[in-house]
Structure 1
Amino acid sequence: MADNQPFPSEDDGLADLDRELYERGATPRHVHHSNLAPRPGEIKRDWNLRPPAAETSRHHRYLSLSVLSKVFLAAGVFFMLSLLAAGFLIFRGGNIVSNANIDIDLTGPLTVKSGGDFDLGIAITNKNRTDLETADLVINFPEGTRDPLDVGKDLPRLRRALSEIKSGQTKIEGIQAILFGQEKTKLEIEVLLEYRLRGSDAIFEKSKIYEVQVADSPVSINVNLPLSANVGREIELGLEVVSNSPTVLSDLVLAVIWPPGFTPKRSSVTPTGSDQTAIWRLGDLPPGGRRTITVVGELTGQNAELKSFQIQIGLLKSDNTDELAVIYTNTVKTIQVERPFVGLAMTVNDSPASEPSANLGQLVQTVIDWGNNLPVPVTNGQISLSLKGPALRESSVTVQNGSYSSTADVIVWDQVSVPALARLDPGDRGTLQASFASFPFSAGSSIRNPYIDLVLTFRGERQEAGRQGELVETVIKKTLKLSAVFQAAGAALYYNGPFANTGPLPPKVDTPTTYTVVWQLATGGNDVREAQMFATVPRGVRFAGEAAPSTEKLVYDATNRILTWEAGYLPAGSRGEPRSREVVFQVEFIPSANQTGNEANLLENIRAVSIDTFTGEAINRALNNLTTILSTDANFNDSNGIIVQ
């Protein structure tokens, strides 16, 4: 090498190596190896850069292959285990049952006539490899369903034993029922299969719902109601129930929900229910049968206000409720309230009720208000008040600015006695008064459920172009009902009565003496119901527990020391004459030392209550306390009523 070239050129070195490898006869070059030991330590081959990309890629591929291998291995193990499990179940058979392998096929009509026969075909197929044991078929019917073998019998549920349903077996059943429901409603019948498996007490179920639509109602109702009515005037509601069913309709009920402002006054058949709902129990209605009911009542409300009557026919939920469980027919009828052309209002003893009440012999005061509601005048006005009834005492009638005819039993006010009635301009108002009384009650009375009918009428002529002289009329009707003469009495005895009394007279301190007590209840004119008589038993007095007659019900509340006689229904005589009932019982009295020198109470706070069946009003009577002074005992001396030491 030349001195000016410290390192051989790259091309010369490669050329020499090439000659040594490929040229014939070339002598290999001798490579000199140094005798120096290598310096310890690692020589860095880079400038702190990352490893070459090729090396990094090879490392990552190694790691990825390792994870994938593990995943594939796990999947393979799981697959093999699944194959083993499936093979075990397939070849061994197993006891596993699925509801999906139980078919319930239902065949029946899509619609049914309410009250007609309903037939449903049921096919149950067991596609499981295991038998179904002690299988039962349960059918849950909608409310109101009846037994086809006994139409009067409810059929809420039907159960049939199917015994065993083998694997692959189909069992077919048919059921019959009589369905009832409102027209165009859908009824649901639940078909339920209950079964057990061999070796298990658990009950398994599979169910299916069958829907059927009611084609028509088993009953129809015809409603007769006017389209409009004046405030305060009576209206008549006619109801006719007609059976469309081919079978007998049992326990049929008619319900009417009154609109606000309607007051029923009388009905051809007395209903039960509440103030807002009337219930008529129609009983059994044969095919084609009819029931007719008429209700008379009175409407109040604003002018042009609509009032709706809701009328339902069906079955009650239970005997002690007014709610219908099944509704066969539901209809609504509407009437419009109209303000009368000439307004009339009448109070009886300050009561605006359509059926006020008063006591027999009581003076009754009536106040009449009138007014022109038309935008035009009314002329030649006349107001009349008719008084009719067997209880009216004609001689008691008095009238202001009017006249009374006892022949016709009518009070009349006209333009002669009341000049303001000659012409009533729009908005004119006025007031009239009259009074009367009924006959007082007597033991010889021959009036049962006494009443006086009041009919108030206005008549006049309308003064309007095209309607000149047209009659304007307003009528108000009321019935004054006269209350029952409900009476109560009580007496304490020692010598008289059905019981033999014991003990000293006068009563002695710390020594018992027995007394006989007589209670009486009576009513005249009207019957009463829920009649009761009760009293407080003071301390030192004991109810002995014996009573006569034994048919009368005496109840003693020892906690509150209340003795009650539950008399119940108490009728008046057939002609209204009074009838009475009595009960007799014993009490025992042991005086205390601090009562010496005084009389003592045997019964306190004595009261009698009842409800008048004619007027509907509650009656309450208070009686004096019964003491040791036996004023009604014929053989008693008053000095024997004072307690001694």
Structure 2
Amino acid sequence: MGFSLPLKRKRRRPIKDIERELRVIYHGRDGRIPDLTKLEYQRKSLLTAILIRMSILLLLVFVIGIGFLFYWHPYSNTNPSLQIEVEAPQAIRTGEPNLYRVRYANTSKQSLAAVQLTAHFPQGFVFTESLPKPTEPFTWTIGSLSPSSNGVIEIWGIPYLSIPSTASMQILSTYRPANMNSDFQDITTVPLYLTESVVKLALSGPEKTIPGDKISYTITVQNISEHQVKNLRLYLKTPSDFFIEELSPAPTQNNTSFWDIEWLNSNQTMSYVLTGTFASEATGSIPLIAEVGFVDAKENFLSQAQTEWNTELLGGNLLLHLIANGSNTNQTVALSDRLRISLDYKNTGSEPLENVVLWLTFQTENGKLPLNFKEADLEGGLFEDNRIEWDEKNISNLSILNPGESGILDIMIPITPTIIENMSDLFTIQFAASLKPIKDSQIKHTIEGTPLQIQINSDTSFTSMIRYFNDDGVAVGSGPLPPVVGKKTTYRVFWNIHNQLHDLENGSITTSLPKTIVWEDRSISDQGIIRFDETTRMVTWFIPEISKTSDSIQAWFDISITPTESDIGKFIKLTNPTAFEIKDSVTQDTIHVSLPLLTSELPDDPFASSNGVVMANETL
């Protein structure tokens, strides 16, 4: 039996619903549905799509290009094609030859051209030889280098640097890849650690001593390498209260404590001996220091080793002190001054001292002493051969000086007013004594105090004067003399400096003018320049330097005064006090001179005497 399903009839949708859906899909920016029977709207969309696709394609090409450049680095040298390795010793001894290997290799897949290596050594490194030899100073030209090829340069050199220190060697490599037109450069830096030296230093001496006893120290310098070393210098630093009596061998220069060692062969040793005594006031543990090093072409000292030896000073029997002009240090004095010296002594031991003799010595390197011993007060001392001596004949307690007993000697010695021919302007004074302990009268000790150096300042003198006439009686001033009320009188101020002993530098002379005095703006100086400050009314003569060969120099300037009724019967003040100061180039002392004010009295003008008091103007 057959049957059939009934057909379901499709319901028709309202036209409004269909229009609403079409409007949602096709409406334009203005909300209207376009005319779909025409193709104009479709052509606009196609052009936009093409432009968008082209922009995306260009962006993709740009990104790929940037990626290619970043990946291949055609102008970068971050990973160099020429690899450099330097083999250097881990620990380097100064003064000893060392081998440095510079290995190079082309690690790229292309040939390299114009390959060149240049070595930069630290200061103090001495290049001796290399294999192969450099084509230019410290430069090796390799030329072309094929892929995966390599080579080595062997460099020998000797470092002369201070110990310890760290330096650097640099290798500058230059090359040109085959597919490039420009050169590339790289720098390889290798640190050099200098921890040891081929030069050894030793110092020995007494562990204990007492002031006044003669002792010796021995210094040894040794080359422990298998090679000769050159250009060494040994310095010896002695304490200030140690008096050197002998240096063996003699130092390189007189009055110094250093020796230049031209060369030392392999394992060679040189010895140096220092002999002397400690001053009476030396106490405690006192070090003696020695230092050795290389000296380069510029006289730079490159220390290699330093050592010291400490000597303990036991309590001395006699303590000596020297004071000159109130000081126990080196000092300067002026000609015609008085040198006042105080000498004190004391037995600081536990035993009496017998037959004590005290003396004060005066020494110059050359020439006579600038001292007048004929007018000196030596407190009973006997002067002979530049030495003043006191013993039991002069001072009773020197026959036996008991523990704790002391004494003081005060003496005065005039300094000569001038330095004549063959007379020295520099000398030293030293207080010393000899004694014998009573319990051991066969042993006699000599004790010396620390010497003082006395330097005499230059014989500089300065005068300031005011005149109307010069030495020949010719008027250098103008106007009435004596001065008259209401009329201008002009005077000339002269400044004179005399000097012969030392060169002088950085000098100046200053004075100020009273308000009633007029600066006439006329001045002349042999050296330097004279200036007047209108605000401060200061007159200053600036003098950069004065040679001791100049003997004397002069400057002058003109001033004027117009007296008033209140000045009648008086001398007029023309300048205030004058100050002069200048530096002695030898002693480094500043010399000061002050002179009083100047008036119209004119005491230094013999042609104008009794013509300084202001007179009334009879015409008024």
TM-score, with length taken from structure 2:
0.59
Contact 1:629–1:642 (CA<8 Å) still a contact in 2?
no
1:461 to 437, 454, 466: 437
> Which is further off, 386-395 or 361-370?
386-395
Aligned to 1:566: 544
Aligned to 1:430: 406
Spell out, residue by residue over 1:171-218, the C-alpha distance to the aligned partner (whole angstroms, 9 max, x if none): 76666765312468665423344789999999874423153658745x
Number of matched residues? 514
Aligned to 1:78: none
Spell out, residue by residue over 1:430-484, the C-alpha distance to the aligned partner (whole angstroms, 9 max, x if none): 2132424246335756522364744431412243xxx676545533364563624
Contact 2:163–2:303 (CA<8 Å) still a contact in 1?
no
Distance in 2 between the 1:148 and 1:643 partners? Answer: 94
**Residue 125 of structure 1: SS of its match in structure 2?**
strand
Spell out, residue by residue over 1:563-590, the C-alpha distance to the aligned partner (whole angstroms, 9 max, x if none): 32122563xxxxxxxx763334454658
Change in Cα spacing, 1:114 to 1:476, as seen in structure 2 (3 Å) is same
Aligned to 1:536: 510
Contact 2:321–2:431 (CA<8 Å) still a contact in 1?
no
Contact 1:514–1:589 (CA<8 Å) still a contact in 2?
yes
Spell out, residue by residue over 1:157-181, the C-alpha distance to the aligned partner (whole angstroms, 9 max, x if none): 9788989978656576666765312
Distance in 1 between the 2:144 and 2:531 partners? Answer: 62
**Residue 327 of structure 1: SS of its match in structure 2?**
strand
Contact 1:133–1:163 (CA<8 Å) still a contact in 2?
yes
**Residue 354 of structure 2: SS of its match in structure 1?**
strand
Contact 2:505–2:585 (CA<8 Å) still a contact in 1?
no
1:412 is aligned to 2:390: yes
Aligned to 2:188: 207
Aligned to 1:608: 581
1:447 is aligned to 2:423: yes
1:305 is aligned to 2:281: no
Change in Cα spacing, 1:144 to 1:473, as seen in structure 2 (3 Å) is same
1:488 is aligned to 2:461: yes
Change in Cα spacing, 1:355 to 1:497, as seen in structure 2 (3 Å) is closer
Spell out, residue by residue over 1:35-82, the C-alpha distance to the aligned partner (whole angstroms, 9 max, x if none): xxxxxxxxxxxxxxxxxxxxxxxxxxxxxxxxxxxxxxxxxxxxxxxx
Change in Cα spacing, 1:518 to 1:126, as seen in structure 2 (3 Å) is farther
Distance in 2 between the 1:357 and 1:474 partners? Answer: 28
Greater Cα radius of gyration, structure 1 or 2: 1
Change in Cα spacing, 1:173 to 1:625, as seen in structure 2 (3 Å) is farther
2:85 to 105, 124, 132: 105
Distance in 1 between the 2:144 and 2:578 partners? Answer: 73
Distance in 1 between the 2:151 and 2:522 partners? Answer: 71
Aligned to 1:372: 348
Aligned to 2:593: 621
Contact 2:216–2:276 (CA<8 Å) still a contact in 1?
yes
**Residue 305 of structure 1: SS of its match in structure 2?**
strand
1:190 is aligned to 2:170: yes
The one-letter code matched in structure 2 to 1:307 is: P
1:383 is aligned to 2:369: no
Distance in 1 between the 2:235 and 2:614 partners? Answer: 63
Distance in 2 between the 1:330 and 1:451 partners? Answer: 34
After TM superposition, the structure 1 = structure 2 runs for residues 177-576 of structure 1, keeping only pairs within 5 Å, are: 179-182=159-162, 187-193=167-173, 205-211=186-192, 213=194, 216=197, 230=210, 249=231, 269=253, 287=263, 303-309=283-289, 311=291, 313-314=293-294, 326-353=302-329, 360=336, 362=338, 364-374=340-350, 377-387=351-361, 390-391=368-369, 393-396=372-375, 398=377, 404=382, 410-414=388-392, 417-419=395-397, 421-422=399-400, 424=402, 427-438=403-414, 440-442=416-418, 446-449=422-425, 451=427, 453-463=429-439, 470-476=443-449, 478=451, 481=454, 483-484=456-457, 486-491=459-464, 504-505=478-479, 517-523=494-500, 527-536=501-510, 538=512, 541=519, 547-548=525-526, 552=527, 562-567=540-545, 570=548
Contact 2:470–2:476 (CA<8 Å) still a contact in 1?
no
The one-letter code matched in structure 2 to 1:207 is: T
Structure 1 unpaired stretches of 5+: 1-84, 150-156, 272-277, 571-578
The one-letter code matched in structure 1 to 2:593 is: R
- Aligned-pair CA distance for 1:620: 3.2
Distance in 2 between the 1:348 and 1:309 partners? Answer: 30
**Residue 284 of structure 2: SS of its match in structure 1?**
coil
Aligned to 1:582: 552
Distance in 1 between the 2:271 and 2:605 partners? Answer: 58
After TM superposition, the structure 1 = structure 2 runs for residues 80-91 of structure 1, keeping only pairs within 5 Å, are: none
**Residue 181 of structure 1: SS of its match in structure 2?**
coil
Contact 2:334–2:458 (CA<8 Å) still a contact in 1?
no
- Aligned-pair CA distance for 1:534: 0.6
**Residue 441 of structure 1: SS of its match in structure 2?**
coil
Distance in 2 between the 1:257 and 1:141 partners? Answer: 33
Instruction: Tell me the percent identity.
Output: 10
Distance in 2 between the 1:115 and 1:348 partners? Answer: 50
Aligned to 1:74: none
Distance in 2 between the 1:270 and 1:603 partners? Answer: 51
The one-letter code matched in structure 2 to 1:459 is: L
**Residue 528 of structure 1: SS of its match in structure 2?**
coil
The one-letter code matched in structure 2 to 1:521 is: H
Contact 1:595–1:643 (CA<8 Å) still a contact in 2?
no
**Residue 340 of structure 1: SS of its match in structure 2?**
coil
Change in Cα spacing, 1:404 to 1:378, as seen in structure 2 (3 Å) is same
**Residue 449 of structure 2: SS of its match in structure 1?**
strand
The one-letter code matched in structure 2 to 1:342 is: L
Distance in 2 between the 1:177 and 1:396 partners? Answer: 70
After TM superposition, the structure 1 = structure 2 runs for residues 160-179 of structure 1, keeping only pairs within 5 Å, are: 168=148, 170=150, 179=159
Two-structure CA RMSD over aligned residues (Å): 6.3
The one-letter code matched in structure 2 to 1:487 is: T
**Residue 481 of structure 1: SS of its match in structure 2?**
strand
1:144 to 114, 118, 124: 124
Contact 1:462–1:472 (CA<8 Å) still a contact in 2?
no
Contact 1:312–1:329 (CA<8 Å) still a contact in 2?
yes
Contact 1:136–1:195 (CA<8 Å) still a contact in 2?
yes
> Which is further off, 414-423 or 97-106?
414-423
- Aligned-pair CA distance for 1:305: 1.8
Spell out, residue by residue over 1:7-51, the C-alpha distance to the aligned partner (whole angstroms, 9 max, x if none): xxxxxxxxxxxxxxxxxxxxxxxxxxxxxxxxxxxxxxxxxxxxx
Distance in 1 between the 2:167 and 2:432 partners? Answer: 53
Contact 1:555–1:565 (CA<8 Å) still a contact in 2?
no
Contact 1:491–1:518 (CA<8 Å) still a contact in 2?
yes
Distance in 1 between the 2:561 and 2:394 partners? Answer: 76
Distance in 2 between the 1:167 and 1:636 partners? Answer: 106
Distance in 2 between the 1:295 and 1:641 partners? Answer: 74
Aligned to 1:152: none
